[in-house]
Amino acid sequence: MSDLETGGGIGKLEQKTNNQFFNFSKPYLDFIGKGKIFSLVYIVMAVINLILPFVILYMVIDSGLFEFGAKYVFAFIFSWLVIVFACWIGFQIWWHRRTKVTIISSSEFVATPIFSEILQTFGEWLGTFIGIVGAGVGLIANIALGGSASYLFSAIGMNFMSMGAVIIVIGPIIGFFIIIIFRYIAEQLKILAALANNTKEIAANIKSK
C-alpha cells in the first residue's frame, strides 16, 4: 500500500471523526427545531394526571381526616373515586392531544401554534377537572358532611372550592368558562401563526414569479 493511499485513508478517517464530534448533537437539534420537544409537555401532564389521585390520597392521610369519624372516611372514599375519574379524563385529554404536535411541526412557525395548542389543552383539562370535581365532590361532601364539607376540600388541597352547596352548580359553570376563555386565547395565537405562515407563502410565490 502506498503512502498516498495510506494518507488518504487517514484523512477520510479524521474527517469522519470530526463530523461525528461536531454533529453528534444534530438529532437533538432537529428534535427541538421541529418542535417535537413540546410533545413532552403532553406526556408529562398525562403522567401527572395518573399520579395526582395518589398524591391527594397521601395528603388526606397525612392531614388526619380519617380520625374525624366514619362519615369523613366514606365521604373521602367516594370523593376520591370522583377525583380518579376526573384525572382519567384529564389523562386522555393530554394523551390524545399530543398527536397534534406532529402535524403542527411541519409548518414554518412552530412555537406559537404549538403553544396555543398547549394552552387550549390546559384550559380543556383544567375546566373539565374543576367541573367534575366541583359537582361530584361538592355533592358528596355536602350530602355526607353538610356544613363541614369545607374540611374535606381543605384536606384534598382544594380550598377554593369551599363554597358550600353552591359549588355543585358553580363548579361546572366555572369549568365551562375556563374552557371557553382558554380556547379564545389559543385561537388568537393560532390566527397570528396562520397569518405569518400565509404571508411567507405569498411572498415566496411572488418572488418565484
Place of cell 380520625: 67
Biggest CA–CA distance in the chain, Å, is 95
| Residue 48 and residue 81 in one domain | yes
| Residue 19 and residue 58 in one domain | no
Q: Indicate the pTM of the whole model.
A: 0.76
| Residue 153 and residue 181 in one domain | yes
Q: What is the pLDDT of residue 4?
A: 44
| Residue 92 and residue 16 in one domain | no
| Residue 17 and residue 47 in one domain | no
CA dist 72 and 55 (Å) reads: 18
CA dist 188 and 57 (Å) reads: 39
Containing domain of residue 24, as a range?
1-33
Q: What is the pLDDT of residue 171?
A: 92
| Residue 13 and residue 65 in one domain | no
| Residue 1 and residue 82 in one domain | no
| Residue 44 and residue 20 in one domain | no
CA neighbor of 138 nearest in space, from 91, 179, 82: 82
| Residue 25 and residue 47 in one domain | no
Span 22-68, pLDDT tens digits: 565 666 555 555 556 777 889 999 999 999 999 999 998 888 888 88
Structural contact between residues 50 and 91, judged by C-beta atoms closer than 8 angstroms? yes
CA dist 104 and 21 (Å) reads: 31
Q: What are the φ/ψ torsions at residue 109 (nearest 5 degrees)?
A: -100, 115
Q: What is the pLDDT of residue 62?
A: 87
Domains: count for the chain: 2
Q: What is the pLDDT of residue 114?
A: 82
Tens of pLDDT along the chain (209 residues) come to 444 445 455 555 445 555 555 565 666 555 555 556 777 889 999 999 999 999 999 998 888 888 888 888 998 999 999 999 999 999 999 998 887 766 555 555 667 788 888 999 999 999 999 999 999 999 998 888 887 888 888 888 888 787 778 888 999 999 999 999 999 999 998 888 777 666 655 545 555 55
| Residue 44 and residue 98 in one domain | yes
| Residue 25 and residue 41 in one domain | no
